[in-house]
């Protein structure tokens, strides 16, 4: 993600497959609602607020995200 010099790397989720890895960046100069940047291994990106990220993390911690994904997959 070197095309945006103002992105501060936060974390890379590497699975050691050498095909690229999802990453989280902080964009300190971005509007508050687009300050967190998530990229996938295909170069796509989404921009969300820190509050939205915290909500996503909470849903992951309490199992709601996994439950919703399983329901969507018919499990």
The residue extents of the domains of the chain are 8-72
Measured distance CA(50)–CA(34) in Å, rounded: 8
Compute the average pLDDT of residues 40-62: 95
> Does the structure show a pLDDT above 90 at 17?
no
What is the model's pTM? 0.81
Question: Taking the CA of residue 37 as centre, how many other CA atoms within 13 Å lie in the half-sphere pointing to its CB?
Answer: 17
CB 25 within 8 A of CB 35: no
Measured distance CA(71)–CA(68) in Å, rounded: 5
């Amino acid at each position: 993600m070197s095309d945006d010099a103002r992105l501060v790397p936060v974390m890379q989720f590497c699975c050691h497959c050498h095909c690229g890895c999802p990453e989280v960046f902080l964009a300190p100069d971005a509007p508050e609602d687009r300050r967190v940047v998530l990229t996938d291994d295909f170069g796509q990106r989404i921009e969300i607020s820190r509050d939205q990220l915290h909500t996503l993390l909470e849903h992951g911690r309490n199992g709601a995200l996994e439950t919703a994904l399983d329901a969507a997959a018919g499990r």
